[in-house]
Amino acid sequence: MADASLFARVAALEAQGARAALVTVVRTSGSAPRAPGARMIVHPDGAIEGTVGGGALEHTATQAAKQTLEDGRPRLVEHNLTQELGMCCGGTVTLFVEALVAQPRLIVFGAGHVGRALVSAAASAGFVVHVADEREALLVPAQLGMARALHDDLDDPALPFSEDTFVMITTHDHGLDQRLAEKCLARPHRWLGVIGSRRKAELMRQRLLNKGFGAPQVARLRAPVGLAIGAETPEEIAVSIVAELVAERRGAVHRDAEGRPEVRPELKTRGGA
């Protein structure tokens, strides 16, 4: 597989959220089957794309990749081709093995002012964004060009729900927000947020409890959403929401006494002057 094709394949796997590892030849000495920079993708079932040299070396690289997929730890693997693997090349090869980092996925229900601003802000932060809205007139590619896909069916099976998916509900109708929250709570997701006031959030949670949703399930609903930065405009609100998404993804969120999300105190000065 040519380098350009392999890089495109890596990008596609990351966008899909697929589990795979990347093995790269980082150093060689003596006679080695591939030069530094050679790469190979290894899937959880051991299937490979590309090559780092074939034979016993490739088998060992595949086993190391499976270990990385299991424990999430990158590793350097050094092999003497003659002594360790019985190959005739007579050199040494050092491999760097890393798990592919899937791009986080965000489903945005609602293509209004906040929804449109959220698409741009989230995509700029590295999220693969899907937008769903029954109002086809709002699904304008020119305004939502940074979205991966536009859906005019709120129940579209192509919406990428998974244990790693972030979901944001920001429609034009409170009743629709409620119905979507009920549907989304019943589907796999990592984070589920609904835009609105504290009063709206309280009423929504109470309705969910009245409909039989368990307290732990209802507690997963994030509302109000966004870090408390005094946001007012759609663009500012979108920034506050994406800030919470990033903090959630990086494990940097905790809740204040009133349940509002904020960055952990010890991280507030990180990156400052």
| CB 85, CB 77: distance < 8 Å | no
Q: Where in the chain is the domain with CATH 3.40.50.720?
A: 105-267
pLDDT attached to residue 271: 44
Structure tokens at 253: 């969120």
pLDDT per residue as tens digits for the range 18-50 = 889 999 999 998 888 899 999 999 999 999 999
Residue 157: asked if its preceding bond is cis (omega within 30°), the reply is: no
Domain made up of 105-267: CATH architecture: 3-Layer(aba) Sandwich (3.40)
What value does the mean pLDDT of the chain take? 88
Query: Which of these, 125, 103, 120, lies nearest to 15 by C-alpha position?
Result: 103
Two tokens at 231?
């946001």
What is the structure's pLDDT at 270? 46
Q: Which pLDDT belongs to residue 55?
A: 83
8-state DSSP, 137: G
**What's the confidence (pLDDT) of residue 80?**
80
Residues of the chain with pLDDT under 50: 267-273
Would you state the structure tokens that stand for residue 120, as one six-digit string? 């741009």
Cite the beta strand spans of the chain per DSSP E: 21-29, 39-42, 48-50, 75-80, 92-99, 105-109, 128-132, 149-151, 165-169, 191-194, 221-222, 253-255, 261-263
